[in-house]
Amino acid sequence: MSEHKEMKRISTSTIMEMKNSGEKITMLTAYDYSMASILDQAGIEIILVGDSAANVFAGHSTTLPITLDQMIYHASSVVRAVKWAMVIVDLPFGSYQGSSSKALESAIRIMKESGAHGVKLEGGAEIQEAVEKIVSAGIPVVGHLGLTPQSINQFGSFGVRAKSESEAHVLKNNLHVLQEAGCFAVVLEKIPAKLAGELSSHTRIPTIGIGAGMGCDGQVLVVNDMLGLTENFKPKFLRQYLNLHGEIKGAVQQYIKDVKDNSFPGTDEQY
């Protein structure tokens, strides 16, 4: 966006104002300097340094293996690229569960060592104390409910959550808990659209949906998925805006051909 020089950096108050005015909030993941720079220049409001880096960067089948040190490395790369967007970083599995003191230590490391603007935690009532402690230290927190990938071994699948009345009731209570604990926003992942819309209209804090329908206050996708870099991953909620996998593969094949038939480099491409 050409007007970036005059624009203020996105803050928690900006996000709250967007919800109150009915303006939709946009969030995408990024894990490196080059991609983060593009997203920031395009005008994205929030960049999430997701633990999904474990999947799209490292090839793991779950988000569980990524470490706090690795998240700080990715977050630092993103922060160096960003001039306008808010950068939120996932606390990885094992860095906050079961201990609010450990959660605070992990959040402080992320903020001090990466320069990020806030952190995201998965869970509800079980992380209330951790959220309260992190917020009390002046660190903005985003919650995450519904399908929480760090709990995949407990769920047993990546299916839609909160389809039953009892599970929906628990989710509603957890959202209230996170709101009162001090979260300034919450991600709702893979829950029925009707439920997400109801929650969004009854909560003070913004909801950011992924597979949660149009009623949320904003939307988030994994950037590798929406750009078509991830092959053979097309869930119902994903809109793929490009097919970069095919385009990059074709470009590489053309490069191989040009090198092998001696047409690259040309006379104007050498010193």
DSSP 140: -
Regarding beta strands 118-120 and 141-146, do their DSSP bridges make them parallel or antiparallel, or are they unpaired? parallel
Encoded tokens for 54: 């474990």
Positive/negative CA dihedral, 72, 74, 76, 78: negative
96 touches 127 (CB < 8 A): yes
What stretch of H or E contains 13?
helix 12-21
Instruction: Match 């007007």 to its residue by tokens.
Output: 3
Query: d(Cα 188, Cα 192) in Å, to the nearest integer?
Result: 10
Instruction: Match 């903005």 to its residue by tokens.
Output: 140
DSSP 27: E
Question: How deeply is 115 buried, as exposed, middle or buried, from its count of CB atoms within 10 A (0-12, 13-18, 19+)?
Answer: middle
Encoded tokens for 177: 């808990």
Query: d(Cα 121, Cα 119) in Å, to the nearest integer?
Result: 7
Instruction: Match 């999430």 to its residue by tokens.
Output: 48
Q: Among this protein's residues, is 105 annotated catalytic?
A: no
Query: d(Cα 200, Cα 182) in Å, to the nearest integer?
Result: 16
Q: If we measure between CA atoms, which residue out of 171, 200, 168, 198 comes closest to residue 185?
A: 200
Encoded tokens for 84: 């306008």
Which residues are CB-neighbours of 195 under 8 A, at least 6 positions away? Answer: 162, 168, 171
Catalytic residue among 189, 198, 231, 269: 189
Q: Which residues are catalytic?
A: 189
